[in-house]
Amino acid sequence: MANWYGTSRTNYYKVIDEERYQALFAGLCSSEGDIEDFSNGDVHGFGCYNDVFYYPLVDSEGNAKTSEDYDCDGDIDLFLYEMSKILAPNNVFILQTVGNEKLRYLTAFSAVVFPNEAPVWLDLTALTKKMCKEKYGVDFEVKLEY
């Protein structure tokens, strides 16, 4: 089996609590190198190769934690939920991850976060299948991998 290679990046967005944002950002990591910070003044954005993972640096009682305290690939959903609390009004946070395993599998996902709303994950393959079903009225076989 070949390796999956991906790229993740966000749009540009503003937050209302810079200190909380910096604490959240400090918990981000990638399986392939560093997270690149595209922040400029009060406008933020970031990207990395492969997936983005999140390891909270403190637990709910304020105790310090490290990535060794987690038994999985981090909790990006928690990061997205926390981002929804600090996004500036009329802003959206979008995290896109696209990747491939040679020409066998292609993946494309977006997490969309609005202020004070639950994050929504979008999957390009699922959206494509939904569109085909709406067009033909039946489940349409969309085979994009082998």
Distance CA 75, CA 24 (A): 12
Mapped onto helix, strand or coil, the DSSP state of residue 115 is coil
Distance CA 78, CA 55 (A): 9
User: For 133-144, what is the mean pLDDT?
Assistant: 80
pLDDT band at 43 (very low <50, low <70, confident <90, very high): very high
Record the pTM. 0.85
pLDDT tens readout for residues 102-126: 878 888 999 999 999 999 999 998 8
What is the residue-wise DSSP string for 92-113?
Answer: -EEEEEEEEETTTEEEEEEEEE
pLDDT tens readout for residues 47-68: 999 888 888 776 666 666 665 6
User: For 18-24, what is the mean pLDDT?
Assistant: 93
Distance CA 125, CA 117 (A): 24
